[in-house]
Amino acid sequence: MKHIKSLIELSGVWFDYHPDRQMKEQWALQDINLTIQSGEYVVVMGPNGSGKSTFARLLNGLLIPTEGEVRVGDFSTSNGLGRFHIRRKVGMVFQNPDNQIVATTVRDDVAFGLENLGIPREEMIPRIERALEVVGLVGFENREPAHLSGGQKQRLAIAGVLAMNPEIIVFDESTSMLDPQGREEVRELMKELHQQGQTVIHITHSAQEAFLAERVIVIAHHRLQLDYPSRDLYNQSNLLEQWGLEVPLPIRVRALLKNQGVELNEPIGNSDEMVAQIWRYLSKT
């Protein structure tokens, strides 16, 4: 049998920002073992401070495991050459756009990554235009990033990574400052990237966004707590509550109904199925 190689592989990963000062039980990430295949669409959920952003930074070699190894493709983040190649494969949209914007105009900022990749100028220009169009920042090319609103900065951060067309894109809470339509656009964008075969990793607090992915991972108390295909998780998503995470609205409705003695037990896989079940309950009686 041919051995199928994973795109991303974390084996026995432990990490802390001050490993010498902290007891091992308090490290920011503990004993993470995980593989992600090429083309997967994965959501990472978890409470504040549980280690999600740390996880993201381990993937592109901004942080290096204190113990264990992170491999992306044929490279390991533990050596310099490996990191050089990995940074070209893994694009990351940071949690706070201010931490990511490098240049003094919107256009130059999107160009920055492309320049680093050594893309010829003729190819760069259409790629910049396309990326700005996708995030809806056409007309802002010459604006200074410092003069943009919170949500506009977040869009710019996304454009800078999109333009580089990386194999893997990590979105670290990239919709937190967007309006509902902007969120919808970014969700569509992730879907599109996924359909094009790119690997999408999305860190989010929103249940609605989580269940758009194929696979949901929960990191809590600095450990990997749960790793399910999303369609299997939906029906038992009450599980998420123990870590203070959002449970999809239909499942919450079902739980509240149960508290009042109304048990709806058919397993459901999405919101529509819950609507159907409620409707049956209302018409049956």
Ligand X SMILES: Nc1ncnc2c1ncn2[C@@H]1O[C@H](COP(=O)(O)OP(=O)(O)OP(=O)(O)O)[C@@H](O)[C@H]1O
Binders of ligand X among 21-60, rule CB under 6 A?
Answer: 28, 46, 48-54
The one of Mg ion, another protein, ligand X, none whose footprint includes residue 253, by CB under 5 to 8 A per kind, is another protein
Q: How far apart are CA 266 and CA 264, in angstroms?
A: 6
**Window contacting ligand X (CB under 6 A); options: 68-76, 81-89, 141-149, 209-217:** 141-149
Identify which of residues 81 and 146 has a Cβ nearer to ligand X in the complex. Answer: 146
Whether 160 and 109 have beta carbons less than 8 Å apart is answered as yes
Question: What is the number of helices (H) and of strands (E) in the chain?
Answer: 10, 10
Work out whether 12 is an interface residue with ligand X (CB under 6 A): no
Residue 106 CB, nearest approach to ligand X (Å): 11
| Binding residues for ligand X restricted to 155-214, rule: CB under 6 A | 177
Q: Nearest to ligand X by Cβ — which residue?
A: 151
Question: Element (H or E) spanning 67, and its range?
Answer: strand 67-72
Q: What sign has the CA pseudo-torsion 8, 10, 16, 19?
A: negative
Main-chain phi, psi angles of 225, to 5 degrees: -105, -30
Residue 42 CB, nearest approach to another protein (Å): 18
Whether 10 and 33 have beta carbons less than 8 Å apart is answered as yes
Work out whether 5 is an interface residue with ligand X (CB under 6 A): no
Work out whether 17 is an interface residue with ligand X (CB under 6 A): yes
Residue 260 CB, nearest approach to ligand X (Å): 33
CA distances from 85 to 6, 63, 76, 166 (A): 17, 15, 9, 11
Interface residue with Mg ion among 30, 50, 53, 77 (CB under 5 A) is: 53
List interacting residues with ligand X (CB under 6 A): 17, 28, 46, 48-54, 95, 147-152, 177
